[in-house]
């Protein structure tokens, strides 16, 4: 059904050549049918890595999606390389690790439900917030005239988390944090010590803020002095989270904030690679072309998910070939500017 170019680049090579792409399933996104189909579609489209909530059910679901992608690729004689799997954690408070909720019995019966209209994840209905779909973007909070929306942050029990990660078949870890959270980061990094030697990649996702320079210096030093492999140290990823969870708004400005933050990082010259996130969308590739410093790649989250939301939000996507074909074409259009050698042509 499909022809595809040869996938020859390793993920390390993608980082070294500026063609690295990651799908962000969402650190707080737990809608398993969508996650499975997202993993399937974007694996076939050729992403290098998939990141997801560090929980057993989510990991197994991502693996199931990638397994099915591999089966389809073999059936269609497509070249295929399994993306690296990256578990997302947080050090300190972080908006990626929260969920909204409200009590629907408190809502006036004549409320026009602006919260439902602004939610990009179809996570709100008459019963309140559907917890598995909410990924914490925060857009429902300011539009509620009664201030009913609140957030609950996710906190991991570290010993259980480390036990799970030690047994899990993952390639990489990402820690979301803030420039003011050097201490929580270092504490978590110490807890992760037993895992570090076997990781292929480590990523630090950070937003802009006061103290960025000190944070980058101290955290960079801790990582470079750790037991991570030399390759992982060399390919350390700094994810510049310009405007968290905003890429689906579609505006160029959301990508600009990520590029602007990457520029600040570049001035600090940390060891490793700069990778954009937080506001990335279909306008990001053009902005990268104009950047006066090297960018190793891009992570797509809310934009990538929204792009194929209709197709992935249900049963096994491969049971409806028209649906799969549509989703794959959209995903490939997002991937193509970074990986032109992966041109997919649909014959059926």
Burial class (CB in 10 A: 0-12, 13-18, 19+), 81: middle
Name the residue nearer to ligand SF4 (CB basis): 139 or 233: 139
Name the residue nearer to ligand SF4 (CB basis): 55 or 191: 55
Q: Would you give the binding string for ligand SF4 spanning residues 82-121, x where CB under 6 A is met? A: ------------------x-x----x---x-xxx--xx-x
**Residue 274 and residue 270: Cα distance in Å, rounded?**
9
Largest Cα separation within the chain, whole Å, is 61
Tell me which of 148, 161, 222, 326 binds ligand SF4, using CB under 6 A: 148
Name the residue nearer to ligand SF4 (CB basis): 35 or 149: 149
State the minimum distance, in angstroms, from the CB of residue 158 to ligand SF4.
Answer: 25
Cα of 71 vs its chain's centroid, Å: 24
Tell me which of 49, 87, 124, 327 binds ligand SF4, using CB under 6 A: 124
State the minimum distance, in angstroms, from the CB of residue 150 to ligand SF4.
Answer: 10
Q: Is 152 in the site for ligand SF4 (CB under 6 A)?
A: no
Name the residue nearer to ligand SF4 (CB basis): 83 or 136: 136
Q: Is 146 in the site for ligand SF4 (CB under 6 A)?
A: yes
**Residue 189 and residue 215: Cα distance in Å, rounded?**
14
Name the residue nearer to ligand SF4 (CB basis): 137 or 328: 137
Tell me which of 15, 53, 72, 134 binds ligand SF4, using CB under 6 A: 134
Near ligand SF4 by CB under 6 A, which window of 51-59, 140-148, 224-232, 329-337?
Answer: 140-148
Near ligand SF4 by CB under 6 A, which window of 30-38, 63-71, 76-84, 122-130?
Answer: 122-130
Q: Is 24 in the site for ligand SF4 (CB under 6 A)?
A: no
Q: Is 137 in the site for ligand SF4 (CB under 6 A)?
A: yes
Near ligand SF4 by CB under 6 A, which window of 60-68, 127-135, 262-270, 315-323?
Answer: 127-135
Of 41, 92, 93, the C-alpha closest to 62 is 41
The total number of residues written for the chain in this structure:
348
Name the residue nearer to ligand SF4 (CB basis): 108 or 348: 108
Helix (H/G/I), strand (E/B), else coil: 199:
coil
Joined tokens for residue 54 = 């560090």
Residue 125 has φ and ψ, to the nearest 5°, of -145, -165
- The CA–CA distances, whole Å, from 270 to 40, 125, 290, 302, 343 equal 34, 45, 21, 27, 34
Name the residue nearer to ligand SF4 (CB basis): 68 or 280: 280
Burial 34-66 (b: 16+ CB within 10 A, else e): bbbbbbbbbbbbbbbbbbbbbbeebbebbbbbb
Residue 135: CB atoms within 10 A of its CB come to: 29
| Tokens 């490793």 -> residue | 272
Name the residue nearer to ligand SF4 (CB basis): 104 or 184: 104
Tell me which of 129, 296, 304, 334 binds ligand SF4, using CB under 6 A: 129
Near ligand SF4 by CB under 6 A, which window of 4-12, 123-131, 152-160, 175-183?
Answer: 123-131
Burial class (CB in 10 A: 0-12, 13-18, 19+), 138: middle
- The CA–CA distances, whole Å, from 36 to 27, 30, 148, 319 equal 15, 10, 32, 13
Residue 196 has φ and ψ, to the nearest 5°, of -55, -45
Q: Would you give the binding string for ligand SF4 spanning residues 255-284, x where CB under 6 A is met? A: ------------------------------
Q: Where do contacts with ligand SF4 occur on this chain (CB under 6 A)?
A: 100, 102, 107, 111, 113-115, 118-119, 121, 123-124, 129, 134-140, 144, 146, 148-149
């Amino acid at each position: 059904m499909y022809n595809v170019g040869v996938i020859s680049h390793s993920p390390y090579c993608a980082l070294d050549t500026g063609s690295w792409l990651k799908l962000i399933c969402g650190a707080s996104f737990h809608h398993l049918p969508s996650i499975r189909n997202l993993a399937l579609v974007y694996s076939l489209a050729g992403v290098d890595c998939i990141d997801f909530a560090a929980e057993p059910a989510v990991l197994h679901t991502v693996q199931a999606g990638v397994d099915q992608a591999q089966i389809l690729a073999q059936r269609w004689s497509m070249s295929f390389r399994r993306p690296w799997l990256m578990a997302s954690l947080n050090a300190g408070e972080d908006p990626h690790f929260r969920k909204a909720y409200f009590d629907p019995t408190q809502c006036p019966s004549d409320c026009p439900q602006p919260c439902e209209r602004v939610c990009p994840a179809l996570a709100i209905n008459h019963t309140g917030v559907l917890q598995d779909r909410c990924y914490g973007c925060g857009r429902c909070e300011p539009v509620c005239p009664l201030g009913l929306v609140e957030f609950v942050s996710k906190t991991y029990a570290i010993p259980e988390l480390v036990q799970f990660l030690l047994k899990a078949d993952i390639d990489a870890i990402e820690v979301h944090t803030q420039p003011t959270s050097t201490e929580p980061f270092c504490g978590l990094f110490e807890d992760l010590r037993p895992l570090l030697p076997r990781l292929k990649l480590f990523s630090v996702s950070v937003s802009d803020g006061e103290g960025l320079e000190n944070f980058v210096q101290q955290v960079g030093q801790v990582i470079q002095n750790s037991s991570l492999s030399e390759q992982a140290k060399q390919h350390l990823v700094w994810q510049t989270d310009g405007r968290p969870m905003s890429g689906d708004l579609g505006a160029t400005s959301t990508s600009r904030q990520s590029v602007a933050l990457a520029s600040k990082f570049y001035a600090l010259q940390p060891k490793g690679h700069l990778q954009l996130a937080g506001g990335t969308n279909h306008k990001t590739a053009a902005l990268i072309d104009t950047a006066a410093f090297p960018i190793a790649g891009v992570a797509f989250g809310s934009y990538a998910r929204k792009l194929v939301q209709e197709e992935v939000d249900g049963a096994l996507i491969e049971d409806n070939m028209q649906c799969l074909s549509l989703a794959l074409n959209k995903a490939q259009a997002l991937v193509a500017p970074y990986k032109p050698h992966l041109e997919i042509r649909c014959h059926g």
